[in-house]
Each structure stands twice: as structure tokens, then as C-alpha cells.
Structure 1
Amino acid sequence: MAEDLELLEQDEQELFEHLRIEVDKGQALLRIDKFLMNRVENASRNKIQNAIDAGSVLVNDNVIKSSYKVKPFDVISVVLPDPPRDTEVYPEDIPLDIVFEDDDVMVLNKVAGMVVHPGFNNYTGTLVNALTHHFNQLPTLPGNAGRPGLVHRIDKDTTGLLVIAKSEWAMTHLAKQFFDHSITRKYVALVWGDIEQDGTITGYIGRNLKDRRVMTMYDDPENGKWSVTHYKVLERLGYVTLIECQLETGRTHQIRTHLKSIGHPLFNDAPYGGDRILKGTVFNKYRQFVDNCFALLPRQALHAQVLGFVHPKTKQYLNFEAPLPEDFRLALEKWRAYSSSSTQEQD
């Protein structure tokens, strides 16, 4: 009996590592609760402090307090009594906007706010949870466990087209097209400022050393992955510009990072500084107008509008286009009206 109790106590004390962070050598001293807020998605400071108080946050395998200051080369672990669920996917009956479907592929129009695949703090409500409900079994790429059917992704608050592979054959052939950059991907974006001419942005994209939630451009290939975005002006609206971005590569936050790097962040893209008034007047009426636009479009103004690829079985080239979602369209109409009235006043 005593032996059984001892084993039970050992089982109850077993902890599983859910998150591991190796602190960069250039990290300045910073309270660990603030440090983790910049690296754990959807976690408030209160939740982080509660986890620290519960002994679920370790630094160099030691329990610490919220006042602990992170130093270069620290190893931070978030440990919990339940095993990680990164590769465990639960089916959920979530409606999907299906644009096209046959035995091999499905093209979806993703709504804003939907995470594509499960991950830390996002185990439910994702596109993969929905796909798992709709299909008995979907293929996965090697090293991509927990993401059935996915050959690419778009950000949580970006809307638009995604192609899903429904067979091993389709996944292999679609993945090859993405690798060869032969997939057509065009996005519509509303950006701050007046972009003077069409162009191409290139550079290496990697994690920001101070805030791991966002990406940054680097000159050194050791700090990131090569990226290419072509853009052209669709409509000039004074203090903002509607553009089309065509991806040649598909890095994390590529368009968002690229546009910020040239001084034209996406409208209302908070992590990249677009949720502030970056161009325009100082008048209260203008500030109220921009706030109203932010309220209509409470996310980055980015929509994956066009997706084209060669069907893996028929070899026919398929091209799909998704109309602007309502929130994007309404905000754009307000900017058009504002730009038109400003032009008339000047005339």
C-alpha cells in the first residue's frame, strides 16, 4: 500500500515541457513575466504570473519568481502536468467556406480570426480541427505532424484562399509546386502612405531578437530565410494605398515584414506598427475617421485574393479568386469616400 502511494505521488509530480526558450546572447535584463508576454501567444501578464507562482516556469531547471530578470543564455521552460498536445488534433464541427473540392484537393476561403493549425495556446477552433471533423484522414508532410492536409498557411487575422491536399499524391505534387515557387499567390493589402511606384522587396526574414512574435529583415543569411515579394499599386487613396502583393517565396509574416521594412506597414497591423495614425492630419475629425476605420477592420488589412496551381492529377491549371471580406470592403469604401472628398476640397 505504501509503495502504491509512493508511485501515485511520483505520477502526480510528473511534469511535461510545453515550451522551451533559449535566451539570445544579446538579451537585456528583463523581468521574466514581461519577457514571456512577448513570446507566448495569447497569454496575458496575469496568466504568466499565475503560472510562475504555480512553479510551472523554470529557468535553468529552477523555480523562479515573477521578479526574476532574464539574462543571456538562460534556458526557460514552461512545464505542466499534462503532456503537450501539439500533434493531438480534436475534430470540431466548424463551418468552412469551400470554394472548390474534388477527390484530391480542396480550396478554402479562410475567415479572419481562425488559426490554421493547432499550437501552443491554440489547441481548438483551428482550421485543422475543422478539417479533421470533415475528413477521416488527411495526409501530412514529413516533419509536419499535427497539420494534416496543409501545404501552406496564412496568418490568423489574414483572410483568403488556402489549398488543402486530400491525398498523398496531391500533397507531394502541391508541395513540389510551392518549393519551385510556381504557385500563384496574390494578396490585396491596404498600407499606410502613398507608394510611389511598383517594386520588389527582397531580403532575409527571421525572428526579431527582442520580440519573437514578429519577424524582421536581415542582411545576413545566417539570421533568416531568403524572401521575395513583388507589389504593384492598385489604387491611391491619399494617406493610404491599395496594393497587390505577389509572393515568390512564402515566409512567416512575409508581406507584413516586407511592407514595414519599406515604411508602409499594413493598415491596422498592430504587431508591425500599423495600428497608429502614421500618415495624415492632426485634426480630431481625421483621428476619429481613422478610429472608425480601425473599428470596421479590427485586424491587418491583408487578404489572400488569388490562388493558382496545377492540379496534381489532371495537370490542368486552376485559378481561384476570393472577393474582399466585408470588413475590408467597408473600410476601403470609407477611405475612398474620404479621399474623394479631400480631393474635391482641394479643387
Structure 2
Amino acid sequence: MTDPFNEAAASRKELIAEDDASGRIDAWLTAALGQEFSRNRVKALIEQGAVQLNGNILDSPNRKIKPGDTVVIDLPEPEDPQPKGENIPLDVLYEDKDLIVIAKPPGLVVHPGAGNWHGTLVNALIYHCGDTLSGIGGVKRPGIVHRLDKDTSGVMVVAKNDIAHRHLADQFADHGRTGPLERAYRAVVWGRPRTLAGTIDAALGRSGADRTKRTVKREDTDDAREAITHYTVLERYGEKPDASCLASLVECRLETGRTHQIRVHMAHIGNPLVGDQEYGAAFKTKANLLPEDAKRAVNKFHRQALHAYLLAFEHPTTGETMRFEAPIPADLQKVIDALKAM
């Protein structure tokens, strides 16, 4: 069909049947709308009286469509689902009336969103904390002042009231430049950075090829945002006489906090994270160079090898500097142990 939509309003779609239109109207609508609506969703809209055929409300999904028919769908305004508490175990490192610090496991999404309306950290926090969570972060992100990717593990702090939320959010916005905020990660990367310690200063922005990904951008690009990562090589695995190696354990400290920052920056200097399917997929075959035990461990590891092991910040009420560490999760530790044993 050619250009079937005429959206007079955001909640209305108008379609005109072409010369070859035939069959049940619910099947025709489903095909016309493509992946936007399932057949069950189309039937539900018809039963709700939200579909008109030639100016009359459609009363049945099995009516036949004819060439030239005009079909109008009035869509209900999208609702912003309010997360519900779910009994999901939390590894609580510290908690008081102002905040809670947890060790997030890999595989746990931080807040609800498209495709992840349930089973998130926010659902777990609502169940655990009840009505004490801050509302500043919005309905879907109560108390959240920073986040970790789904498959990144590590320490997170969550505010339990509005005052704590403001105070913590200001610290994260300052990136520790004038206060005690400190964030440090452990990452296993392919190869070895050119220098054993260094700073990656490369602006980041959305990728033109995939809007969910980030890429290094020129600083004069419209969406370029400053991004600075400091790294130190802690261990080298499979080191060769020329000082190169197959993989390294690296500590990364953030001076800024951009989406996917460490993952993009390490890939940018030629050392993507082991297991990173988005930014290190081209390096997947590097596992074939490893001894059998290490190769098996790496191939069984299906996430980016990144762990936020350290978080320090100023307590919003007492002013005390709080410092928390989380041990490396078992799945990542197995990879490190296998690489060490080479």
C-alpha cells in the first residue's frame, strides 16, 4: 500500500483501501499497520468502538473490506505505566532513612521502559522501600540518580526522599570535580592498551546507524558531549615477549558519566570489553587464540566484562563520605581466573 496513513492528530490514523483490498477487515488492518499492531490488538480496538468504516463505527472484526473504503482508527492516549512493587531479592550494602546502596547483579534492568515493564530494579525497590522512594526521578525512575547498563554489575545508590535525591543528583552532575564522588570499574578488555595508564578524552554522541548506541564524535558535532575516562592496567594475560598480551584487567575511573562511556572509549582505543556484543563483536574470534580452558570460559560469558566495584559519595544529611565496594560477580571472576591460569 502506498502512504496509507493520514494522521490528522497524534491519536488518529486514516487508511484508504486500494484496488486489491479484500478479505476480513481485521486481517486487512493488521497487514496495513505492519508490526505496529497485532491482530488481537486490532480486534480489541474494533470491539472498543475505536474503528470507523466509511464514517460509521465498525461493529465486527469480520466485516469485509472493499476497494476505496476509508478506515479511521482512534487510538487511546498512551498511558505511562506506573511500576508496581515486585518481590525481587536485593543485595543491600547499606540503608538508612535517606538512601539505600545495593550491589546490582548482571542482567537486572534499572528502570522500566520499552520491553522491560516488569522485573526491574525499580520494581524491587518499590517492594523493598514502599512509599519512601523519592518522586523526583519521575514515575518510572523513583529515587534513581544514576544507572548501570542491564549487563553491568556493581554498586548503586538510590535516594529515598526528595532532599537526598537533589543532593545525590548534584554530586553525580558534578562528576566528583568538587566533592568526594568517586566511581571505579573493573573491566576485562582484549589486548593491552598502548600505555599502562592513560586518559581517554573523546566526546560521545548517538550513533547515526543505531540510535540506541553511542559513538565517538567530533566536539563540534551538535550532539557531542564531553566524555573522559581514566584507566590503569592492573593485570595482563597471555603476555608475549613483545609486551603485547591477549587480554587485560583494567580499572576505569569516570570523570564524566555518559551512556556506554567505558565500553565505547575502550573500543575506541582498540581494546573493547570481552563479551561486549555491541562494541566488541568484531573481536569475538579473539577467543580462538586462547588456551582451551580460557577459551571455554570466555565463550560461555555472554555479557560485557564490566563491574562497578567502587562508589563513594557524600551522605546528603550527615555530610559523611560514604564508600562502598562490591566483589566481582562469580561469572566474571571465572573468566578472570581462567585468563590468569594461562
TM-score (norm 2): 0.72
What SS is found at the alignment partner of 2:113? coil
Residue number among 306, 313, 336 corresponding to 1:309 in the alignment: 313
CA distance in 2 between partners of 1:49 and 1:295 (Å)? 37
Residue number among 85, 109, 113 corresponding to 1:115 in the alignment: 109
Q: Structure 1's 280 and 218: CA in aligned 2 closer, same or farther, altered over 3 A?
A: same
Q: Given residue 150 of structure 1, which amino acid in structure 2 is its aligned partner?
A: I
Once the two structures are aligned, what percentage of the paired residues are identical?
42
Matches within 5 A, 1:280-295: 286=290, 288-289=292-293, 291-295=295-299
- Per mean C-alpha deviation after superposition, the further-off stretch among 214-223 and 153-162 is 214-223
Residue number among 159, 168, 179 corresponding to 2:173 in the alignment: 179
Matched, 1:230 2:230: yes
CA apart distance, 1:281: 6.3
Matched, 1:336 2:330: no
Q: Given residue 309 of structure 2, which amino acid in structure 1 is its aligned partner?
A: Q
Q: Given residue 257 of structure 2, which amino acid in structure 1 is its aligned partner?
A: G
- Per mean C-alpha deviation after superposition, the further-off stretch among 218-227 and 156-165 is 218-227
CA apart distance, 1:146: 1.4
CA distance in 2 between partners of 1:252 and 1:280 (Å)? 27
CA distance in 1 between partners of 2:281 and 2:41 (Å)? 34
What SS is found at the alignment partner of 1:175? helix
CA distance in 2 between partners of 1:204 and 1:324 (Å)? 29
CA distance in 2 between partners of 1:88 and 1:113 (Å)? 22
Q: Given residue 184 of structure 1, which amino acid in structure 2 is its aligned partner?
A: E
Q: Which residue does 2:207 correspond to in 1? A: 208
What SS is found at the alignment partner of 1:135? helix
Q: Which residue does 1:271 correspond to in 2? A: 278
**1:103-147 CA distances to partner (integer Å, 9 max, x unpaired)?**
1111000011100000011100000011111222211336x4410
CA apart distance, 1:223: 2.5
CA distance in 1 between partners of 2:127 and 2:215 (Å)? 36
Q: Structure 1's 292 and 169: CA in aligned 2 closer, same or farther, altered over 3 A?
A: same
Q: Given residue 243 of structure 1, which amino acid in structure 2 is its aligned partner?
A: V
Matched, 1:327 2:331: yes
Q: Structure 1's 294 and 166: CA in aligned 2 closer, same or farther, altered over 3 A?
A: same
Q: Which residue does 2:70 correspond to in 1? A: none
What SS is found at the alignment partner of 1:263? coil
Q: Which residue does 2:259 correspond to in 1? A: 252
Q: Does the Cα contact within 8 Å between 1:204 and 1:221 map onto a contact in 2?
A: no
Matches within 5 A, 1:1-347: 50-51=35-36, 54=39, 84=78, 86-137=80-131, 138-141=133-136, 144-182=138-176, 183-195=181-193, 196-219=195-218, 220-237=220-237, 238-274=245-281, 276-277=283-284, 279=286, 286=290, 288-289=292-293, 291-338=295-342
CA apart distance, 1:277: 3.5
Q: Does the Cα contact within 8 Å between 2:288 and 2:295 map onto a contact in 1?
A: no
Q: Could you say what the CA RMSD is over the residues aligned between the two structures, in angstroms?
A: 2.8
Q: Given residue 101 of structure 1, which amino acid in structure 2 is its aligned partner?
A: E
What SS is found at the alignment partner of 2:165? helix
CA distance in 1 between partners of 2:197 and 2:129 (Å)? 42
Unmatched 5+ residue regions in structure 1? Answer: 1-13, 18-47, 58-78, 339-347
Q: Structure 1's 200 and 16: CA in aligned 2 closer, same or farther, altered over 3 A?
A: farther
CA apart distance, 1:49: 6.3
TM-score (norm 1): 0.71
CA apart distance, 1:294: 2.9
CA distance in 1 between partners of 2:189 and 2:74 (Å)? 41
